[in-house]
A and B are shown apart, each in its own frame.
Chain A
């Protein structure tokens, strides 16, 4: 039955998309239908010039669909049915909003369009639709833009297929994700750059924030989709299928009940804020997805800006595509600053998969409801996290819509007890490919994915917590570790139930980082005393 479903899905996609690849000639800038509803009191502002040397592909308006890279994992996202359906609904939601925005129906975006989209989100389609079929006007007017979106969405879809595959080993999954990236990056000229971009710059254009101010509910949906499209990676990465399904029960509930309907986010959800493990392992992919999502925001804002002419809109969309394109940043390097903020590729210390944000420095990052933090330190004990090739050793805790990396199993467990609501803990063992997945219920009761897991927890100063608090897949692995670390001589092996009931002391090393203001998105905030 499952195979039949996938075959139908694949066939539907092939038929609806076609497989023709064409790089069309440059076309004139599209004209168009009436503009969306006005922003009250908005006045025209000078627009940044469009670079004169834009490549020809950026003006292409011809059809240009490319199908998935071949793989035995294709459509395995359907192994986690509710996730697959939710992703199908995301595609519909995007397309419906864009079509209404460019066909003179913008005035009803917060009411009629929102209600239509919401209905789809609550009763998602069984198969992935062709977005161009739902938003034909948008696709016709902004051809290459639609292709940029579609192409990166295919990368989204296929990487998630890989993660949900039961036929690939974890090592094979890592390799296949890299192959998918290569396919994405090298097949077309309009791939999105894998470099971190300065989000503060991209979100401070003359038109920025027009969409969220005018259409907060629909903008909330867009950012809710982006939350899901980021969160699903850590939810699935290194997690066996039966637990992927259990984890998605938690994630899906959060998505449907809360994340879709938030209208108070100061910025779109960033990939590394919700999937730090995947972002640390595949920073180029995390950056590409963030850059794509920023392109969505920029386009939304351009389309919602009433004081721009159709010609200016089309030009600024081309400029926005160029700003996030790989071609615009050829031969540039991650981590390198530039006086031209469009080419500022700094990232946060300890997190190569996240570009700079408003009011933040590489050393200090800010998140709503969490405040200031260092992405290179444990959020529970402030000690440095594992880095580089050892970064997989950092456990994570996901709760309340965010995910944090911590330094040891104790830090993950105790932080989950300090956090309201259900939580997901992902705790590495001695085997980089075998992750202990732990779910916390509302009351903090823990359930683990690995019946034979054992722990060492010889609590002392958190300067050494990465040594004295660890999880293992078996008693033999724990004994070997203790034998190799004489300081742990006499350490007791704790079974999961015993470990889950423990509570550690307040870490002696904890320091709360402080930024220069309370909230960098509220510049009127007085500097801290």
Chain B
């Protein structure tokens, strides 16, 4: 009897976890299957790996459009009328930074997010334009990528928006 109760509790717990994950974390939806090219720069969208996410996704209603980097996604944001959310891969696998535009007002989650916004050859745009959840992660990112000068400065979201200059 005790065993049956335990199993039921475990089942209910698992079900609750799955349901809440589906509701709370839309970002966990599997990556798009057809590997289209980035709508902005036309280069291949770099796929996620086991350790690091790379695909930038823009959610617009039921649509989920992939971009090669946050620069491209922010550039293209101006072509969507209405609320959107950009899922920007961070240094943490499975935990993208959420850039949300609601009623024309942008917000970022988590609020501690900083950005690399350094102009690089666009084939390395995933390195040059990247969201990182905090300053420590930013420092480690810059250190790990020789394409970036050591004195690269972290950008706030407002500064990153200005870099990408999304059209109104």
Contacts and interface: CB of A to CB of B under 8 A. Distances in A.
B34 A417 contact: no
Interface in B52-76: 60-66
B36 A419 contact: yes
Contact of A418 (B61, B64, B80): B64
B33 A371 contact: no
B82 interface: yes
Interface of B: prevailing SS: loop
Given A369-B42, A443-B82, A379 B34 contact: yes
A399 to B, nearest CB: 10
Nearest to A406: B34
B62 A418 contact: no
Q: Interface size class for chain A? A: 20 to 34
Nearest to A462: B33
Interface in B18-76: 29-37, 39, 42, 44, 60-66
A503 B31 CA distance: 11
A444 B36 contact: no
A443 B63 contact: yes
A444 B63 contact: yes
A419 B60 CA distance: 11
A178 interface: no
Nearest to B29: A503
B65 A443 contact: no
Nearest to A514: B44
Given A369-B42, A443-B82, A503-B29, A415 B61 contact: no
A445 B62 contact: yes
A349 B21 CA distance: 43
A183 interface: no
Interface in B62-112: 62-66, 80-82
B60 A444 contact: yes
A507 interface: yes
Contact of A506 (B33, B42, B62, B65): B33
A419 B62 CA distance: 10
B31 to A, nearest CB: 6
B60 A443 contact: yes
Given A442-B61, A444-B60, A445-B62, A418 B34 contact: yes
Nearest to A444: B62
B84 to A, nearest CB: 10
Contacts of B82: 443
Interface string A397-429: 000000000000000001101111000000000
A445 B61 contact: yes
Contacts of A199: none
A417 B37 contact: no
A43 interface: no
Contacts of B37: 369-371
A381 interface: yes
Contact of B33 (A369, A420, A443, A507): A507
B62 A420 contact: no
* Top 3 closest pairs, chain A to chain B, by CB: A443-B61, A444-B62, A506-B30
6 contacts: A368-B42, A418-B33, A442-B80, A443-B60, A444-B63, A445-B61
Interface of A: 368-371, 379-381, 414-415, 417-420, 441-446, 501, 503, 505-507, 510, 512
